[in-house]
Amino acid sequence: MTLRVYLSGEIHTDWRDQITKAVTESGLDVDFDGPVTDHAASDDCGVAIMGPEDKKFWHDNKGANLNAIRTRMGIEKADIVVVRFGAQYKQWNAAFDAGYAAALGKSLIVMHQAEHQHALKEVDAAALAVVETPGQVVEILDYVLNGRLPG
């Protein structure tokens, strides 16, 4: 069984690298997918390919729809969707992805620090696991695949 895991949310820390590196080292059978994490490319992809816009709204609209090709496909094909909320920013697209995944019946893992617990209570309640660290995600993947627990 190969697990398909989509890593959604925060793009300013290296949490995706931590997970994929640990999974590779553990030899777990996991295929990862996720959004484009180059912030500038993600913001400007629409106008870069389809031409400039005067209004910021349409500049962003073109980019967001282009990114949606990748993100929706990734979520729809995933067995597990991990959504990480970082320490700052609104991160509404992370919550949007979580809602999207929940409506599709995907197994949802939410990652965030304790300080955001109350604000994320609806998102957490839709999840099958709520964790704080990339290491815990790796432990979950190992358990789901092999029934192996840490320590």
Residues 15-54 within binding reach of its own copies (CB under 8 A): 31, 33, 36-38, 41-42, 44-46, 48-50, 54
Chosen residue from 102, 111, 113, 134 binding its own copies by CB under 8 A: 102
For the CB of residue 15, give the shortest distance to its own copies in the complex, in Å: 17
Site for its own copies in 70-99 (CB under 8 A): 70-74, 79-80, 85, 89-99
For the CB of residue 21, give the shortest distance to its own copies in the complex, in Å: 19
Q: Which stretch binds its own copies (CB under 8 A): 11-19, 21-29, 68-76?
A: 68-76
Candidates 8, 26, 151; CA nearest to 93 is 8
Residue 30: beta bridge partners?
3
Q: Judged by CB under 8 A, does residue 66 bind its own copies?
A: yes
Helices (H) and strands (E) in the chain, counts: 6, 5
- Residue 75 has a CB neighbour count (10 Å cut-off) of 21
Residues in contact with its own copies, total (CB under 8 A)?
80
- Residues present in the chain in total: 151
> Six-digit token pair at 32?
């990862």
CA distance 68 to 108: 19
Secondary structure element (H or E) that encloses residue 113, with its range: none
For the CB of residue 104, give the shortest distance to its own copies in the complex, in Å: 5
